Structure 1
Amino acid sequence: MSDDIKQDFWKALDASPFVMIGLTGERQHHIPMNAQLDKDANGAFWFFTATDNRIAGGGPAMAQFASKGHDLFACISGTLRREDNRAVLDKLWNNSIAAWYEGGKDDPKLVLLRFDLEDAEIWTAEPNLKGMFKLATGMTMKEGDLGKHAEVTL
């Protein structure tokens, strides 16, 4: 099941690449960011941000994700690192990113962060007929009646 749920996660993130992310151990609220996906990358995605953003320094981080249809949820653990490879920046750069940086790819405030994923907990919300009946009638729910849950290594 964990391979299926991982594939479902990647499809859902591709369809709506918005996450809430924050540094682990910091007492600051997490912030919304747009994950930049690379179909050739395995176990990482990227964020464009500014030098004065609270996550710009990198470090251990957690991200939360809810799919567009609210049928998949994930909490992802990993490490944010500055990405200094210009080829990666060039590959991920697009007009919606350019709109934020007056100096373009050479803007002095521009930071590209790579989020190296370690593990995640993923939940799906796909109630079966029996689960829906139990909800409607107030019967006792059992694990799996409303979806799947897995702890996975990304």
Structure 2
Amino acid sequence: MSSPEHKQKIWNLIKDIKVGMLVTKDDDVPRARPMHLVQDDYDGTIWFYTQRSAEKVIEAKGGSEVCLTFSDPDEGIYVSMSGTARLTEDQDVIDKYWNSEVAAWLPEKEDPEVVMLEIDIQMGEHWASKESKVFQLYEIAKANVKNDKTPDIGENEKFGG
């Protein structure tokens, strides 16, 4: 998996984005929906609140493979993470991450309908470009003219696996 330093790097990329797209499989068809980060750090697991009756719970039950994506085009940040999803009903975990934003979407935290998806990340990839869009376009044009060089538009790194 990833080192603690790399996990911190991933967290620094996604923590301000806040909303990622969770991709599950509805039968054999990939399906994505937005999910809001609730944790204050990242140790290899991402947590999301949901309702027990939600379709994503059915699609992600029993250790199903899922994908999470986070993007901030204005900052040039893109992160894709793949892992396994499990449902947790642990009230201590539900209490740990509960906040006013969650309360706006879900009933009381003691409601049996309130559960969490635990996503254990196994692998992923991230892209980060600190350069402006104009610079990125310049690099792409330069690579096309030279016909022999990949444009240098920022950092790209795979992790886990």
Identity of matched residues, %: 24
1:101 paired with 2:117, answer no
1:146 equivalent among 140, 145, 153 = 153
Indicate the structure with greater strand content.
2
Detail structure 1 runs of 4+ shifted over 4 Å in the superposition: 2-6
**Counterpart residue identity of residue 34, structure 2:** P
TM-score by length of 1: 0.80
Task: After TM superposition, list the pairs within 5 Å mapping 1:50-89 onto structure 2.
Answer: 50-57=51-58, 58=60, 59-67=64-72, 69-89=74-94
Query: Structure 1 stretches of 5 or more lacking a match?
Result: none
> Matched residues in 1 for 2:47 and 2:136: separation?
42
Deviation track 1:77-129 (CA, whole Å, cap 9, x = no partner) reads: 00111123221111100111112223x0122321211111111011112338x
Unaligned runs of 5+ in 2: none
Structure 1 window deviating more from structure 2 (139-148 vs 88-97): it is 139-148
**In 1, Cα distance between the equivalents of 2:43 and 2:67?**
18
Distance, in Å, in 1 between the alignment partners of 2:140 and 2:86 is: 49
Aligned partner of 1:113 among 110, 117, 125: 117
Contact kept in structure 1, 2:125 and 2:158, CA below 8 Å = yes
Alignment-derived partner of residue 33 in structure 2 = 31
SS at match of 2:29: coil
Residue 35 and residue 136 in structure 1: after superposition, are their counterparts in 2 closer, same or farther (change >3 A)? closer
